[in-house]
């Protein structure tokens, strides 16, 4: 046994050399050559070194056989075979053999950063690209070398002709050093994979800018160093698995590998979805918030899989049942179902399975012998008359069959075979009406499921809403559901098991073969078929729930981003019969002017008197807009107001009305938050205030209500409430953040939904504002208790500080000062306390002074981390901060963009195009810009249309009420929403800015539709989409 050591500069460890010829099982090796280079156009001449004589071994034959025949300099040395369980490491004078554990690399560092000796003896870093270029020798090449033959010639891609150099070229610095200088990255800055030399995904061959994936990784580094890459499995913490997190995430979400690595890094650094979607676009390839939310959910699921797997491992280890096979099976599991299936046989139960009881009786050796050595099996030797389960030959045979059935059901090859057979056959889901006996009494809601009384659909084509409907009917015990697998699947599987997979290795008597057949059939009927049914139904339900939650989120976003109706005095009406209609008038500044109750549906004389009361209220407060809730008595109340408007009863006012969604208003009216906001108002009248405010500022009002109570989803009560709440809260945070809030006037409820903030931080901000006065600039926010650097980074870009408000506040404070005392431009009586407390010299004094000055950029969407770039851009175009949002600024920006383009200007400013685009938007958008103005406002009406007035072919204008997976419900003003089936919503009918992945519409969007069918008896209207207005 010989030992050799590599030079210290190579980072190699002391290894043991073993001759290949003497090994019984030939190991595989990894050959990593120092001479491998990522530069295709340069030749490399090896450094001359004195090497002592060495014994010729099989390994040295590899080096000799693979050496080039010509003496001219070559680009790289050939590489030797590499496998996962071992490797050779080639040096410039020797080859040292070392063996690694499965899953480890043969180099001293992880994938992509390998230390070797350069010409000057100093270590250098070898890039991932260089390692990927190393060649792999197959096992057949090693065998040819051992037999004294030359290995097969390599097939290399054609290269560009390069001029031969006579002198030794100067050593070139690897590209990774430049990147390391820029962002201080280390060896772990690249996304890891379980196989660093493995094949890349097809999607990675050519994406956004047509660059190779590794080059893309280097070119998307953020200038602030936030684009650093980490080993993705670090997010799993102590729960490490045998798969790479970035690779699994990429496979699940169809997102490029480098983007997945960035997403993992960003979420591990506790970045929020709104912050990533707006200010880290270059790292996520311009993904939208919905795609980020899906990736985050998949990421959490994989982390949960790792956690569950390690919990199962700890339990098995504690019970002494863990072996290497189970350990690897659990660490290789990628889904919770796989973890559950591997761990299920070892769960403690009251009686255990039939196979477990048979094993406890000692029948497992008989079951194994039936497969391995059936000729030597004697079942009579297992009979024990005094033991239950072994008292007769029949009981012994039954126990052996139970063990065999369990072995078949737990066998990986058998399960793969049955799943493959199912993939090539027609598997259906069938639902039927449950038989109801007279003693059960009448069954409610049976007619609601009439479509599924005798329903059959292929599991690959069944719709998500059908799955949810069938599940609800099954839970209500109205429907019976089963999965149909053709009998030919069972027959072919049983034949394969008996004749191939579980065929005895020796001759078996006919009675043993009959036992084997019975075991396989019992395994399929009792274990495998129920397992497949559970898997299919679980997968269908999971996919349907996720799609339902996504649809709910899209509808909620559309509702939250509805355009506000500002500058109007509004009357909110909560309709009712016996208890009357609640009225509330609110001012344009959101103040409650008047609240009352009127009885409109009790009698003619009383109704006229109540109409006079309404008229006097509208005239006194100069209100010409009525908002009616869409709850009980909505249709009658709408008809009442429409009749008065048509008779010009409210003259000289031109009164109009609209219908608002009142879902959740009654729940909010009795909440502690409503009592705190409207302490002196009756709870019955608070709902009318909420209805009016939903039109005045939908976002500010709807965030007060729990999202699931808004009622714009589908089967929201049947899906996972945990996932639903997480998704909807994320949508609310996204909407509030993207719209932005004025931190000096916004409510605590709105502020807590800003990215990076929570209830405690929002309360601290409000308390600080009440104690110290308004915030002068964004840097001022750092003075709030509990708001650290990370929270500030996440929320700063979504917080606005109105410059006009600050100027007015400072002017009022200066006027209150006695004599000739003056203050700074943004110092108030209370805010100046910060300047008095901080009396330091140098940088501290400058920092304190900066807290007292307003910054015009604080009223824009530009993040403080980009202020320096924004100021350099203003210098470039000769602009001033006082021109932000004005026409002059827009002209200057448009001129330079037309001349040089966004990418050209971004390169000149040493930033990315996405960051520059945010800066341009912030500089050009007018003061007080609100992105909700791009969305639709409520439809205001003056008359009403009845269902009987409709005719087939009539073209109407309506407003989307709700969107589902099977269609869109549209309010066309007849008291009953019409349905646009999904087949009538095509991509050509949607404008480009509204084309979404679901081809759906959202609540609040105005559409033009045509009536194609009317069912007056069931009050059903079917519509066809013409266009989106």
Q: Are residues 850 and 957 in the same domain?
A: no
Q: Are residues 581 and 664 in the same domain?
A: yes
Contact 123, 115 (CB under 8 A): yes
Q: Output the pLDDT for position 205.
A: 35
How distant is the alpha carbon of residue 79 from its chain centre? 41
The answer to whether residue 742 sits within a structural domain is: no
Contact 799, 754 (CB under 8 A): yes
Pick from 376, 351, 352: nearest CA to 366:
376
Residue for token digits 């040089």?
900
Residues of the chain with pLDDT under 50: 1-140, 142, 150, 154-230, 350, 437-439, 441, 817-841, 995-998
Print burial letters for 55-73: b (CB count within 10 Å at least 16), e (below 16).
eebbbebbbebbeeeeeee
Cα separation values, 296 from 74, 285, 543, 716, Å: 47, 15, 16, 21
Query: Domain holding 686: CATH number?
Result: 3.30.420.140
Residues, the chain: 1029
Q: What angle do CA 349, 350, 352 make, to 5 degrees?
A: 60
CA distance 204 to 218: 15
Q: Which of 523, 550, 577 is the last residue of a domain?
A: 550
Residue for token digits 């008595």?
633
Q: What angle do CA 578, 580, 582 make, to 5 degrees?
A: 150
Query: Tokens in use for 377?
Result: 């099996």
Q: How many domains, the chain?
A: 6
The answer to whether residue 781 sits within a structural domain is: no
Q: Strand pairing of 955-963 and 967-971?
A: antiparallel
Query: Domain holding 995: CATH number?
Result: 2.40.50.140
Q: Is 293 helix (H, G, I), strand (E, B) or coil?
A: helix
The answer to whether residue 751 sits within a structural domain is: no
Q: Output the pLDDT for position 963.
A: 85
Alpha helices in 430-528 (DSSP H): 464-475, 487-496, 510-523
Query: Tokens in use for 231?
Result: 């080993």
Q: Are residues 843 and 917 in the same domain?
A: yes
Q: Output the pLDDT for position 57.
A: 47
Q: Are residues 918 and 880 in the same domain?
A: yes
Query: Domain holding 384: CATH number?
Result: 1.10.3500.10
Contact 524, 968 (CB under 8 A): no
The answer to whether residue 459 sits within a structural domain is: yes
- Bridge partners, residue 628, by sequence: 573, 659
The answer to whether residue 656 sits within a structural domain is: yes
Q: Are residues 690 and 586 in the same domain?
A: yes
The answer to whether residue 769 sits within a structural domain is: no
Pick from 476, 473, 426, 475: nearest CA to 454:
473
Query: Domain holding 197: CATH number?
Result: 1.10.10
Q: Strand pairing of 1020-1028 and 581-586?
A: unpaired
CA distance 569 to 585: 7
Contact 277, 289 (CB under 8 A): yes
Helix axes 289-319, 324-332, angle to 10 degrees: 170
Q: Which of 485, 520, 550 is the last residue of a domain?
A: 550
| Residue 803 neighbours by CB distance under 10 Å | 20
Q: Is 878 helix (H, G, I), strand (E, B) or coil?
A: coil
Pick from 140, 126, 111, 112: nearest CA to 177:
126
Residue for token digits 């996204």?
734
CA distance 600 to 607: 5
Q: Output the pLDDT for position 490.
A: 94
Q: Are residues 215 and 285 in the same domain?
A: yes
Contact 278, 298 (CB under 8 A): no
Residue for token digits 């790289």?
76
Q: Are residues 192 and 52 in the same domain?
A: no
Query: Tokens in use for 355?
Result: 């196979």
CA distance 830 to 771: 8
Phi, psi dihedrals of residue 971, rounded to the nearest 5°:
-85, 115
Phi, psi dihedrals of residue 559, rounded to the nearest 5°:
-75, -40
CA distance 319 to 512: 35
Query: What are 85-125's pLDDT values in tens digits?
Result: 344 333 433 333 343 343 443 333 333 333 343 334 444 44
Query: Tokens in use for 11?
Result: 């980072």
Question: Which residue range is the domain that position 62 belongs to?
Answer: 1-180
Q: Are residues 954 and 901 in the same domain?
A: no
Query: Tokens in use for 354?
Result: 């039939």
Residues 6+ apart with CB under 8 A from 398: none
Q: Is 1013 helix (H, G, I), strand (E, B) or coil?
A: strand
Q: Are residues 41 and 69 in the same domain?
A: yes
Query: Tokens in use for 610?
Result: 């109540």
| Residue 324 neighbours by CB distance under 10 Å | 7
Contact 1023, 978 (CB under 8 A): yes
Q: Are residues 956 and 900 in the same domain?
A: no
Contact 470, 483 (CB under 8 A): no
The answer to whether residue 783 sits within a structural domain is: no
Query: Tokens in use for 485?
Result: 């697998």
Cα-based torsion angle of the residue sequence 379, 381, 386, 391 in order, rounded to the nearest 10 degrees: 20
Q: Output the pLDDT for position 814.
A: 62
End-to-end Cα spacing for the chain: 83
Residues 6+ apart with CB under 8 A from 402: 353, 354, 355, 357, 358, 519, 522
The conformation of residue 652, written as its DSSP 8-state character, comes to T
Q: Which of 119, 150, 180 is the last residue of a domain?
A: 180
The answer to whether residue 501 sits within a structural domain is: yes
Q: Strand pairing of 114-117 and 123-126?
A: antiparallel
Q: Output the pLDDT for position 847.
A: 54
Q: 3-state secondary structure string, 539-594?
A: HHHHHHHHHHHHHHHHHHHHHHCCCCCCCCCEEEEECCCCCCEEEEEECCCCCEEE
Residues 6+ apart with CB under 8 A from 207: 213, 216, 256, 285
Q: Output the pLDDT for position 583.
A: 94
Q: Output the pLDDT for position 712.
A: 79
Q: Output the pLDDT for position 851.
A: 60
Q: Are residues 200 and 176 in the same domain?
A: no
CA distance 567 to 51: 89
Q: Output the pLDDT for position 1000.
A: 63
Q: Output the pLDDT for position 842.
A: 53
Q: Are residues 310 and 278 in the same domain?
A: yes
CA distance 576 to 674: 21
């Amino acid at each position: 046994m010989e030992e050799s050591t590599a030079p210290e500069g190579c980072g190699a460890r002391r290894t043991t050399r073993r001759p290949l010829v003497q090994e019984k099982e030939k190991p595989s090796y990894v050959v990593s050559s120092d001479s491998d280079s990522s530069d295709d156009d340069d030749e490399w001449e090896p450094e001359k070194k004195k090497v002592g004589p060495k014994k010729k071994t099989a390994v040295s034959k590899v080096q000799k056989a693979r050496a080039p025949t010509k003496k001219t300099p070559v680009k790289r040395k050939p590489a030797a075979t590499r496998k996962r369980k071992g490797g050779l490491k080639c040096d410039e004078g020797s080859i040292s053999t070392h063996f690694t554990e499965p899953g480890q690399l043969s180099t001293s560092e992880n994938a992509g950063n390998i230390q070797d000796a350069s010409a000057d003896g100093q270590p250098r870093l070898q890039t991932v690209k260089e390692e990927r270029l190393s060649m792999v020798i197959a096992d057949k090449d090693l065998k040819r070398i051992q037999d004294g033959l030359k290995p097969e010639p390599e097939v290399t891609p054609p290269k560009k002709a390069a001029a031969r150099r006579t002198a030794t070229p100067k050593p070139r610095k690897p590209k990774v050093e430049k990147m390391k200088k820029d962002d201080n990255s280390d060896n772990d800055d690249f996304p890891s994979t379980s196989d660093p030399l493995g094949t890349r995904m097809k999607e990675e061959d050519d994406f956004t800018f047509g660059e190779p994936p590794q080059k893309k990784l280097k070119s998307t580094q953020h200038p602030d160093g936030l684009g650093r890459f980490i080993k993705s499995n670090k997010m799993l913490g102590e729960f490490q698995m045998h798969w790479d997190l970035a690779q699994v995430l990429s496979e699940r979400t169809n997102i490029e590998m480098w983007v997945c690595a960035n997403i993992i890094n960003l979420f591990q650094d506790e970045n929020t979805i709104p912050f990533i979607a707006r200010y880290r676009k270059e790292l996520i390839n311009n993904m939208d918030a919905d795609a980020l939310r899906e990736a985050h959910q998949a990421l959490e699921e994989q982390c949960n899989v790792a956690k569950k797997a390690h919990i199962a491992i700890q339990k098995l280890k504690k019970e002494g049942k863990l072996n290497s096979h189970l350990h690897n099976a659990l660490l290789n599991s990628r889904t919770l179902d796989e973890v559950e299936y591997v761990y299920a046989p070892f769960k403690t139960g009251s009686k255990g399975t039939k196979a477990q009881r048979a094993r406890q009786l000692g029948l497992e050796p008989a079951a194994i012998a039936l497969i391995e050595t059936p000729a030597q099996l004697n079942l009579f030797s297992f009979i024990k008359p005094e033991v239950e389960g072994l008292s007769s030959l029949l009981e012994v045979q039954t126990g052996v069959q139970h063990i065999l059935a369990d072995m078949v059901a737990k066998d990986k090859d058998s399960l793969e075979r049955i799943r493959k057979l199912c993939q090539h056959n027609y598997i259906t889901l069938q639902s039927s009406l449950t038989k109801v006996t007279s003693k059960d009494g009448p069954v409610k809601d049976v007619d609601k499921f009439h479509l599924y009384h005798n329903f059959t659909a292929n599991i690959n084509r069944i719709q998500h809403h059908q799955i949810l409907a069938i599940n609800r009917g099954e839970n209500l015990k109205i429907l019976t559901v089963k999965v149909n697998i053709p009998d030919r699947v069972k027959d072919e599987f049983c034949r394969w098991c008996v004749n191939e997979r579980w065929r005895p290795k020796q001759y078996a008597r006919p009675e043993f073969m009959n036992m084997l057949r019975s075991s396989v059939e019992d395994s399929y009927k009792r274990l495998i078929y129920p397992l497949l049914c559970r898997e299919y139904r679980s997968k269908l339900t999971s996919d349907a729930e996720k799609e339902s939650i996504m649809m709910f989120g899209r509808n909620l976003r559309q509702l939250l981003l509805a355009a506000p109706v500002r500058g109007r005095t509004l009357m909110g009406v909560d309709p009712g019969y016996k208890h009357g209609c609640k009225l509330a008038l609110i001012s344009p500044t959101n103040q409650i002017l008047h609240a009352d109750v009127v009885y409109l549906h009790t009698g003619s004389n009383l109704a006229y008197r109540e109409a006079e009361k309404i008229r006097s209220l509208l005239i006194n407060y100069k209100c010409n807009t009525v908002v009616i809730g869409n709850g009980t008595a909505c249709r009658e109340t709408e008809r009442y107001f429409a009749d008065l408007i048509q008779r010009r009863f409210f003259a000289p006012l031109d009164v109009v009305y609209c219908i608002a969604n009142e879902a959740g208003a009654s729940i909010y009216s009795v909440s502690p938050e409503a009592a705190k906001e409207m302490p002196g108002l009756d709870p019955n009248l608070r709902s009318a205030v909420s209805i009016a405010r939903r039109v005045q500022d939908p976002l500010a009002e709807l965030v007060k209500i729990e999202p699931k109570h808004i009622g714009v989803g589908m089967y929201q009560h049947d899906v996972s409430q945990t996932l639903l709440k997480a998704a909807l809260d994320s949508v609310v945070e996204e909407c509030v953040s993207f719209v932005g809030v004025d931190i000096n006037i916004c409510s605590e409820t709105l502020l807590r939904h800003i990215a990076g903030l929570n209830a405690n931080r929002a309360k601290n901000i409000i308390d600080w504002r009440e104690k110290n006065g308004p915030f002068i600039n964004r840097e001022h926010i750092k003075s709030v208790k509990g708001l650290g650097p990370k929270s500030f980074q996440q929320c700063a870009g979504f917080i606005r500080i109105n410059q006009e408000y600050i100027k007015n506040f400072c002017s009022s404070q200066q006027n209150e000062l006695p004599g000739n005392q003056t203050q700074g431009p943004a110092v108030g009586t209370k805010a100046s306390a910060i300047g008095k407390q901080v009396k330091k010299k140098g940088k501290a004094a400058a920092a304190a002074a900066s807290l007292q000055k307003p910054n015009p950029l604080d009223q824009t969407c530009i993040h403080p981390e980009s202020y320096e770039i924004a100021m350099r851009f203003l210098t470039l175009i000769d602009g001033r901060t006082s021109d932000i949002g004005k026409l002059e600024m827009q002209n200057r920006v448009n001129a330079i963009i037309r001349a040089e383009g966004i990418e050209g200007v971004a390169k000149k400013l040493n930033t990315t195009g996405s960051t520059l685009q945010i800066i341009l938007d912030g500089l050009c958008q007018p003061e007080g810009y609100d992105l909700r103005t791009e969305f639709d406002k409520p439809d205001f009406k003056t008359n009403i249309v009845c269902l009987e007035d409709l005719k087939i072919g009539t073209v109407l204008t309506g407003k989307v009420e709700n969107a589902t997976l099977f269609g869109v419900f549209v309010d066309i003003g007849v008291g009953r929403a019409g349905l646009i089936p999904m087949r009538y919503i095509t991509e050509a009918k949607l404008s480009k800015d509204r084309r979404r992945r679901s081809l759906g519409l959202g609540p609040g969007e105005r559409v033009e539709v045509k009536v194609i069918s009317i069912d007056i008896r069931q009050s059903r209207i079917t519509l066809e989409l013409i266009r989106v207005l």
